[in-house]
Chain A
């Protein structure tokens, strides 16, 4: 009995140790990849054509989904605030209330999650397919650095895409909130605008959200490139990598959002 218990404990410890080792290996892999990208970015040793191509594919083509998300996010913020605003008659504070939550939290977070689903997953699928069909090896065999040619341009494009999308999303979410306020609560857009600009909200609130968006972009870029490059096992392997990217990025975004909200407040 004692031997069996001891064996189970040993097995559990071994399993825990393996998971810890896998986790450390993942973090180490992220660190190595990030340093490789930073070196190339600083030296400008990356493919400009690929960078622009990816900026277009990831940024411009994400605009429709970012637009829809942002407009409805602003509206949702107003609907959730409506009972309190009506109860206390604080119609003049609607702009501040919706703006505070949107700029600092909701717009960067939801934009990051949308970009993670659309761009991060797609990036992993592309890199993963290239890995399992030996295209990454072919680049190496042709004496072409895959980090400089493929990875650094994609990583930079994701970070810039998310930063610019968040600015776009901030503006649209506030527009959505203003018109939802007019529709649901009868708050004129001018009153909503005054609530935004009478001093309760400042540039710091916008910067707070934008700083987060850069960190979220780094998380999505690193995660999608790392899991894509390390794909093994054909089409099922690509599926597993895409799944791992979406889950790891989303979890990383929430954890870092929590920590950043403390750090930046």
Chain B
């Protein structure tokens, strides 16, 4: 479904080095790794927000890097994305933020949009927050609004960058369970970056680990937990002693 081959990107240093990644259709793929290892950058490349210096990116058999503006526009309609710092539009209310992709991309009545927004807000425990502005929300509430906006259009591909950052453990587990349940229900292909490994690994089908711009591991969640690579093992189990 999502395939990256030989992807490289340099800024003032090498940010991605020869990354080969394959995410099968309807898979919930967890992308883990220390900070600044290139995880968020990979998500931006999958959406076409950033281009690699070398390599290919194909999604659903289509080459993302050769798409023109119109094709990219159509391609992005099929992607939901949660940004690391939520990227809520601060001049819109919570309801307007969530309704925004529906209003702009789909031909739905206002009643249908209102129903979808109310349903999303209910799923993230924010019913009654429709009229609030993002500036009046806590970090965790903003994150949940971001999740609601990323999932409201029921896109076949959803990318989450730290969906549980800033959330308490209970809400965090609820969000992961919700995202897992929705992924199963819609059979969406999901790539999820999270530092909350304890919870992330309870919902993923497959896991990839980035380190220093390289993908050093890709396998099932069970394989990640029992990885022979000491770096992967140390990171997954949160050990202090080890090569990292």
Residues of chain A having any CB pair with chain B under 8 Å: 129-130, 133-135, 137-138, 140-145
Contacts and interface: CB of A to CB of B under 8 A. Distances in A.
Contacts of A140: 47, 49, 76
11 contacts: A135-B89, A135-B90, A137-B49, A138-B81, A138-B83, A138-B87, A141-B81, A142-B81, A143-B73, A143-B75, A143-B76
B77 A137 contact: no
B229 interface: no
A144 B76 CA distance: 9
Interface in B59-118: 73-77, 79, 81, 83-85, 87-90, 100-101, 104-105
Contacts of A138: 81, 83, 87, 89
Contact of A143 (B88, B89, B90, B105): B105
Contact of B83 (A129, A130, A134, A143): A134
Contacts of B83: 134, 137-138, 141
Contacts of B187: none
A143 B49 contact: no
B231 interface: no
A142 B85 contact: no
Contact of B104 (A130, A133, A137, A142): A142
A141 B100 CA distance: 12
Nearest to B76: A143
Interface of B: 44, 47, 49, 73-77, 79, 81, 83-85, 87-90, 100-101, 104-105
A130 B89 CA distance: 8
A141 B49 contact: yes
A133 B77 CA distance: 21
B49 to A, nearest CB: 5
A133 B135 CA distance: 13
Nearest to B69: A145
A144 B44 contact: no
Nearest to A53: B91
Nearest to A47: B104
Contacts of B79: 141
B76 A133 contact: no
Given A134-B87, A135-B89, A138-B87, A144 B49 contact: no
A72 to B, nearest CB: 33
B152 to A, nearest CB: 10
Shortest 5 CB-CB contacts between residues of A and residues of B: A138-B87, A143-B76, A134-B87, A141-B81, A143-B77
Contacts of A133: 85, 87, 90
Nearest to B73: A143
A134 B89 CA distance: 9
Given A129-B90, A135-B89, A143-B75, 15 more contacts: A130-B89, A134-B87, A135-B88, A140-B47, A140-B76, A141-B76, A142-B101, A143-B73, A143-B74, A143-B76, A143-B101, A143-B104, A143-B105, A144-B101, A144-B105
Contacts of B44: 137
Contacts of B87: 133-135, 137-138
Contacts of B81: 138, 141-142
Which residue, of A137, A141, A144, A145, has the highest number of chain B Cβ atoms within 10 A?
Answer: A141
A142 B49 contact: no
Which residue, of A129, A137, A143, A144, has the highest number of chain B Cβ atoms within 10 A?
Answer: A143
A144 B85 CA distance: 19
A140 B87 CA distance: 12
Contact of A142 (B74, B75, B84, B100): B100
Contacts of A134: 83-85, 87
B183 to A, nearest CB: 19
Contacts of B74: 143
Contacts of A130: 89-90
B163 to A, nearest CB: 15
A141 B89 CA distance: 13
